[in-house]
Amino acid sequence: MARKAGTGKGVREETLGKIGNLGTAVATAALAEHDPFVDVPMRTISNTTYSEARRLLQMGDATLRRNLFNTAQARKFMQTVLLSKGCKDLLEAQKTLSLRGMYYKSLHTIAGTNEKTFEDQEESDGILEDIEVALATLRENLHLFAKKRGTMVGNITVVDNGDTIDCRHMGTGGYAIPSICEPSVIQFGKCEAKFVLHVEKDTVWSRFNEDRFWETHNCILTEGSGQPPRGVRRLLYRLNKELGLPIICLLDCDPWGHYIYSVIKQGSINLAFESERMAIPDARYLGIRAADFERCGLSGDVKISLNDRDTERAKQIAEYPWFAKKKPWQKEIQAMLRNGFKMEVESLITKDISYVTEVYVPERLKAKDWLD
């Protein structure tokens, strides 16, 4: 379902201009009987570099050319043009649409064939990311949004599309973090919080919320349902950059928890072009840690054996440039590998149902016991 867009007029007109330029280039080539093409920056590890000065991932200059008359590229070329037209329609109507909605808006069988424009939404989503980088714009500027996934509660007031929301009074459910968190949609009001505690899953978030940890420790509490979506990462970035709030992460002790922290801190390889507006180089990893099994006196019941995929992933993460030169992180990853098992934050419940909120996190915060 489409809804009224919140992108500013200037941004909308600029984005329309970029789509218009792409269309003009394609049409001009076709009318001149040349092979129409679109150049798309490559979203690959080989075209991604880590800037030590800026402490974030950056996309390189390599591109992939998609030609209409290249049988290997023709399908993606036509999909790119089709979805660009769909985004143009949204901008002109001043409405937004979900990624799922855009997939269906563009889905049809090509006349005279049995060929569908897209096999599934995953194919459509990948082309939309290509359009973002090809136009040097953002998904939000194309008036597209993803499914909401993420929650916030704490000592802050936000204005969401004109509605004032006090995150101190959100009950057990919390404030659902929207997919589009740009300043034109979300503004910050009164904030007394001193930091943001970001936890990996909603189950852990619910324990902190029920125990009113955010009230006792004067903070904002967020969760991203695992790998945080772009809306959550964008909101965390803005809380850090605009309000100066430290971002502290409580994640599982496994390669996937380490990777989530990596994405929050440096950005992701697939979306390196967005690092400047989402990566938080000063984010800190509070835990849980490999040493916590003995340090917290946990039982063997909480151990989850590392499989071959876990081990391989851990070694890959250890080689990331932003971890490779940090001895504390090398020590942490090697300790987990030596243990031969991983642990979830929920394992701390075996100590006491509120151990994580009343003992573990308060003690780590007081000691400033975190990894950077």
CB atoms within 10 A of CB 51: 14
Distance CA 248, CA 197 (A): 5
CA 150 to chain centre: 11
Which DSSP symbol is given to 351? T
Distance CA 145, CA 5 (A): 10
How does DSSP assign 6-22, residue by residue?
A: -S-HHHHHHHHHHHHHH
Dihedral-angle region of residue 202 (phi above 0 means left; psi in -120 to 50 means alpha; beta otherwise): alpha
Alpha helices per DSSP H over the chain = 9-31, 74-93, 99-106, 121-135, 202-210, 213-216, 230-243, 255-266, 275-278, 292-295, 308-318, 321-324, 327-339, 355, 361-367
Which helix (H) or strand (E) segment holds residue 166: the answer is strand 163-166
Distance CA 131, CA 5 (A): 19
Q: What angle in degrees, to the nearest 10, is found between the helix axes of 121-135 and 74-93? A: 70
- CA 200-202-208 angle, to 5 degrees, is 90
Q: Residue 43: which residues within 8 A CB-CB, separation 6 or more?
A: 59, 129, 130, 133, 269, 270, 271, 272, 273
CA distances from 212 to 220, 254, 358 (A): 11, 27, 10
Q: Catalogue the active-site residues.
A: 104
CB atoms within 10 A of CB 371: 17
**Looking at this protein, which amino acid is placed at residue 50?**
Y
Which DSSP symbol is given to 366? H
